[in-house]
Amino acid sequence: MALRTAFAVVFATLALGLAGCGFTPLYATPGVSPGLAAIEISAPKGRVGYLLREDLDDALAHNKDAAPRWRLDMEIVSARDPRGLRRDDVAESRAQRRGDHRSQLRRRRPALRRHRRA
């Protein structure tokens, strides 16, 4: 019982110390979140590309209503290598998967508006 009380006192002391230290998360800094939300993710087609794009949209808090200022182009390369045969010449169902990706962040140019001549 005394150990539990001592642990609670130490935890409360540490919590109060951290509360007054002025720690601010990176995403709480004014100006960072809108910049991250303005990134458009361009992932390849397929299940892996879809899941990756959805995770990045969630992580960057993508705002679909705002015009994107940045574009993240991604390419995913994956391969499946069979592990081989067993001693009795039966193919194993196990395989080794390898994957790699390439990404490039580019600033989007505003769309040019064409004026019609009368």
| Residue 19, pLDDT score | 62
Distances (CA, A) of 115 to 58, 109, 112: 38, 18, 10
| Residue 56, pLDDT score | 86
Running along the chain, 118 residues long, what does each successive block of 10 average in pLDDT? 75 67 60 75 85 86 83 84 73 73 82 58
Q: Structure tokens of 59?
A: 């992580």
Q: Structure tokens of 115?
A: 């004026």
| Residue 88, pLDDT score | 78
| Residue 60, pLDDT score | 83
pTM for this predicted structure: 0.53
| Residue 3, pLDDT score | 75
Q: Does domain 27-83+92-105 have CATH number 3.30.160.150?
A: yes
